[in-house]
């Protein structure tokens, strides 16, 4: 027989161990579901399967592609090889301009069309989102 | 030119004094039992030199001395004087100089204010602190010198990013740094105490003051950043789980844990290793934050320039600090062996351990969410981002037991306790549940979760509220802080539940009508200021009750650098904020309009102030708790 103290300590260790495993499991599980992947228009065009979950697309806003009405704004994101049409309802950031870098977050309807839920703000005029830069450099 | 040289050479002298100080401290440490008075004078001299250097930089900014590279990159002659001065620490080089200033100030205060502690401990803390200071001196002089020359001298500067030209952001960095740098004192002192094996209740009550001070400043610093983001970025929220916000939250979580844990050490001489680990990790997390933000790995308004060399320097520095501290911890730390360290499961100790567990859980969630994308990028070059749903999903369910433990924990006694006032505890629980059900009932979504959440927050609210009346203010600071926290959670919950938002695109003269709100875009006027032109839009907004608000959000077109910023117009009342922000879309007649009603916004700010006020009281109270 083990003493009461040893049993208690053992119980304590087991509880800590279980909570630890549970924590790691919960975090990883949740991470899997809530991660947003970043892709360039070319990657989407060449993808075999259409991504159903929320994604981010980055590139340049094509010249003369912005149009607007009461409800929504539409524009084209290009990486100078391929293009994606974006329709967006929501607030635009200050530095959303034609021929400037942009990141749009939303759901793909098909390979040419994104319904955006968010357009990401940039913080100054020289700044280019690193994803966009990398995507443009690849081409 | 002149001031830059003075500033530059004061920095180099300051670095030399670090070496002198270490030399004297080591000598003093070995030989004598009386403090060498030279050490105090040199510590002051070092602080004084950094002050001179800092003042020189301010003067260069005020005089718009564009032969200085930092001034050239971040200032402009048309900038208002206030922002010329505030711009001193609104950039990478200047903010590091500020960091150094606070470092030298704190070690000086530490020497003045620390009494009744062994001399060896003071000297050793000084040595560790000087190692950090040397690191920062080298970093500043080698990779980000604020006094670099440009020749020939440019006519005009590049200007400061307009979104940084804001009163809240002028005081946000100094306050935040006081918190960050305070954690460096805790770090050095913990290492010194471990080395000398004096981690005891005496040390705990001495270092507790520093923990409280850093914690108060860190809390206020985060609050200021949050307020700024709310009205300046125009996203209409106060927390976005942006990596840059997270890196300031992580040291805060570690520091808050330490703040609770040190109480146990103070009373009972247990959890010594845990306190040391927390002290080390708080500072490490502050440094990690600096690394992630400064190196350009995380992109944000804080990334002034992406320079891999800087990132590498901080990384090496951080790595060696961690190695040294781990070495000291494993080789010198002796865990205390005394018979006091057993306690009953229902006791204050247990409740603090529960608090620690939850805090560590929150910390690991934030840590994983922040660095996982970086690792994935390095390992598989897949680019991802982790958004708010991740954090909400993992943190919100655990808030419920956390809040309840927070309500009951402080009522328990040390070592062994019974739950007193059972009737009240249960009665209040029932009241909270019923009340929150009535409040949440109107909203169909997530009824169960919201009811439980609101009721646990209400429960903490009622219990701490009652405590104000029945206790004879024996631990008023704790109660204020916990009361503030319950208020914070309640405000955030109501804010989320009852917020409404309209986003639309309007031309001048048009009207937007929905079932509840009518937005009339009446007119625009233009105004010309010294360094920007502004377009002011006039809206009148009518809600169901027939109340009409006139709001005038603004667009500012700054001339140098040429950036457009939106200035939100916010009408704040006790119960809710009405927030409107506009934006232009290039080559279009339409304005992008975002109108939000955000309830209890003011209470979010007030409750955080209340929380730090609790900390402030405990600092000024001589005897914290009987």
> What pLDDT digit, counting tens, does each position of A96-123 carry?
888 777 888 899 888 888 999 888 755 5
Using CA atoms, how far residue B205 sits from A96, B438, B612, in Å, is 53, 45, 19
pTM for the full model? 0.90
- At B279 the pLDDT is 95
Q: Which residues of B touch A124 (CB under 8 A)?
A: 161, 301, 561, 563
Instruction: Give the tens place of pLDDT for each residue, B72-89.
Output: 888 888 888 999 999 898
Q: Do B594 and A91 touch (CB under 8 A)?
A: yes
Residue B530 lies in a domain: yes
- Contact assignment for A34 to B505 by CB distance below 8 Å: no
Residue keyed to tokens 């001034």: B71
- Taking an 8 Å cut-off on Cβ atoms, the answer to whether A92 and B504 are in contact is no
Q: What is the dihedral angle through the alpha carbons of B307, B310, B314, B316, rounded to the nearest 10 degrees?
A: 100
Q: Which residue of B has its CA nearest to A74?
A: B585
Residue B9 lies in a domain: no
Q: Which two tokens stand for residue B187?
A: 């770090």
Burial class (CB in 10 A: 0-12, 13-18, 19+), B309: exposed
Six token digits for residue B37: 């008075």
Nearest 5°: the CA angle B561, B563, B569 is: 130
First and final C-alpha spacing in chain A:
71
Domain count, chain B: 1
| Predicted pLDDT at B612 | 95
Task: Note whether A94 contacts B565, CB cutoff 8 Å.
Answer: yes
Q: Chain A contact for B357, CB < 8 A?
A: yes
Low-confidence ranges of chain B (pLDDT < 50): 303-305, 339, 624-626
Query: What CATH topology corresponds to A37-138?
Result: OB fold (Dihydrolipoamide Acetyltransferase, E2P) (2.40.50)
Is the CB of residue B7 less than 8 Å from the CB of residue B56? yes
Strands (DSSP E) found in B440-563? 500-506, 511-513, 518-528, 532-542, 548-551, 554-558
CA A10 to chain centre: 44
* pLDDT recorded at residue B472: 59
Comparing CB atoms, the residue among A19, A69, A134 nearest residue B505 is A69
Distance CA B584, CA B565 (A): 10
CA distance B464 to chain A (A): 29
B2/chain A closest Cα distance in angstroms: 31
pLDDT of residue B304: 47
Give residue B471's pLDDT.
Answer: 66
Q: Cβ contact (<8 Å) for A124 and B386? A: no
Which pair of tokens denotes residue B89?
């620490």
CA distance B25 to chain A (A): 43
**Rounded CA separation B120/B195 (Å):** 10
Kindly state whether residue B592 falls inside one of the protein's structural domains: yes
Residue B569, domain extent:
500-602
CA dist., res. B266 & res. B411, Å (int): 18
Please give the span between the terminal C-alpha atoms of chain B, in angstroms, as a whole number: 59
**β-strand partners of B577:** B572, B598
**Peptide bond preceding B477: is omega within 30 degrees of 0, i.e. cis?**
no
pLDDT of residue B624: 46
**Phi and psi angles of residue A35, each rounded to the nearest 5 degrees, phi first:** -85, 140
Q: Can you give the pLDDT at residue B307? A: 63
Q: Is residue B579 part of a domain?
A: yes
């Amino acid at each position: 027989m083990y003493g009461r103290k040893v049993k208690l300590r053992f119980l304590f260790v087991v509880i800590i161990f279980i909570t630890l495993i549970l924590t790691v499991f919960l975090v990883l599980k949740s991470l899997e579901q809530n991660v947003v992947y970043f892709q360039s228009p070319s990657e989407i065009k060449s993808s075999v399967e259409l991504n159903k979950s929320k994604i981010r697309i980055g590139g340049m806003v094509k010249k003369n592609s912005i149009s607007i009405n009461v409800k929504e704004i539409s524009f084209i994101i290009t990486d100078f090889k391929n293009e994606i049409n974006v329709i967006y309802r929501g607030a635009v950031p200050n530095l959303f301009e034609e021929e400037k870098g942009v990141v749009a977050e939303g759901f793909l309807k098909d390979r040419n069309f994104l319904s955006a839920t968010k357009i990401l703000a940039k913080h100054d005029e020289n700044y280019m989102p690193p994803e966009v830069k990398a995507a443009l450099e690849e081409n | 030119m002149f001031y830059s040289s003075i500033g530059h050479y004061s920095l180099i002298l300051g670095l030399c004094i670090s070496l002198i100080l270490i030399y004297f401290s080591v000598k003093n440490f070995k030989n004598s039992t009386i403090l060498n008075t030279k050490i105090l004078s040199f510590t002051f001299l070092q602080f004084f030199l950094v002050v001179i250097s800092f003042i020189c930089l301010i003067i260069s900014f005020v005089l718009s001395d564009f032969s200085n590279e930092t001034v050239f990159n971040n200032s402009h002659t048309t900038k208002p004087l206030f922002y010329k001065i505030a711009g001193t620490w609104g950039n990478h080089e200047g903010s590091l100089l500020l960091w150094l200033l606070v470092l030298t100030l704190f070690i000086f205060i530490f020497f003045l204010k620390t009494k009744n502690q062994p001399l060896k401990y003071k000297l050793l803390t000084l040595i560790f602190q000087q190692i950090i200071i040397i690191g920062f001196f080298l970093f500043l002089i080698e990779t980000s010198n604020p006094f670099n020359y440009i020749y020939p001298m440019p006519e005009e500067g590049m200007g400061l990013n307009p979104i940084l030209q804001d009163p809240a952001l002028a005081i946000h960095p100094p306050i935040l740094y006081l918190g960050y740098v305070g954690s460096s004192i805790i770090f050095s002192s913990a290492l010194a105490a471990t080395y000398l094996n004096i981690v005891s209740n005496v040390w705990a009550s001495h270092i507790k003051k520093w923990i409280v001070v850093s914690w108060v400043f860190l809390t206020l610093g985060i609050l200021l950043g949050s307020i700024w983001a709310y009205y300046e970025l125009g996203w209409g929220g106060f927390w976005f789980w942006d990596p840059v916000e997270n890196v300031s939250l992580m040291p805060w979580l570690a520091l808050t844990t330490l703040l609770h844990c040190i109480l146990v050490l103070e009373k009972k001489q247990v959890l010594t290793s845990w306190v040391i680990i927390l002290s080390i990790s708080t500072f490490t997390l502050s440094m990690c934050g600096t690394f992630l933000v400064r190196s350009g790995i995380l992109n944000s308004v804080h990334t002034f320039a992406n320079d891999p060399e800087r990132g590498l320097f901080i990384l090496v520095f951080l790595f060696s600090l961690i190695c040294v501290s781990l070495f000291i911890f494993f080789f010198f730390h002796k865990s205390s062996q005394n018979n006091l360290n057993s306690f009953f499961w229902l006791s204050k100790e247990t409740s603090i351990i529960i608090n620690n567990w939850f805090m560590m859980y929150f910390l690991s969630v934030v840590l994983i969410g922040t660095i996982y994308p970086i690792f994935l990028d390095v390992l598989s070059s897949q680019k991802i981002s982790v958004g708010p749903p991740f954090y909400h999903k993992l943190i919100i369910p655990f808030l419920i037991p956390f809040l309840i433990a927070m309500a009951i924990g402080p009522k328990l006694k040390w070592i062994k306790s019974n739950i007193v006032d059972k009737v009240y505890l249960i009665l209040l629980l029932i009241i909270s549940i019923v009340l929150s059900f009535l409040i949440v009932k109107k909203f169909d979504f997530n009824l169960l979760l919201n009811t439980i959440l609101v009721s646990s927050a209400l429960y903490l609210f009622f219990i701490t509220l009652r405590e104000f009346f029945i206790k004879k203010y024996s631990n008023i600071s704790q109660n204020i802080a916990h009361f503030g926290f319950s208020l914070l959670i309640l405000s955030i919950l109501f804010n989320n539940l009852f917020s409404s938002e309209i986003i639309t695109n309007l031309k001048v003269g048009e009207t937007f009508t929905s079932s509840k709100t009518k937005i009339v875009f009446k007119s625009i006027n233009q105004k010309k200021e010294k360094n920007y032109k502004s377009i002011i839009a006039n809206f009148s907004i009518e809600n169901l009750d027939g109340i009409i608000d006139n709001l005038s959000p603004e667009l500012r077109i700054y001339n140098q650098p040429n950036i457009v910023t939106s200035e939100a117009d916010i009408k704040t009342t006790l119960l809710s904020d009405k927030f409107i922000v506009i934006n232009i879309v290039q080559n279009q007649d339409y304005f992008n309009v975002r109108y939000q009603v955000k309830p209890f916004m003011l209470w979010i700010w007030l409750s955080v102030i209340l929380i730090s006020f609790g900390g402030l009281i405990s600092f000024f109270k001589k005897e914290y708790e009987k």
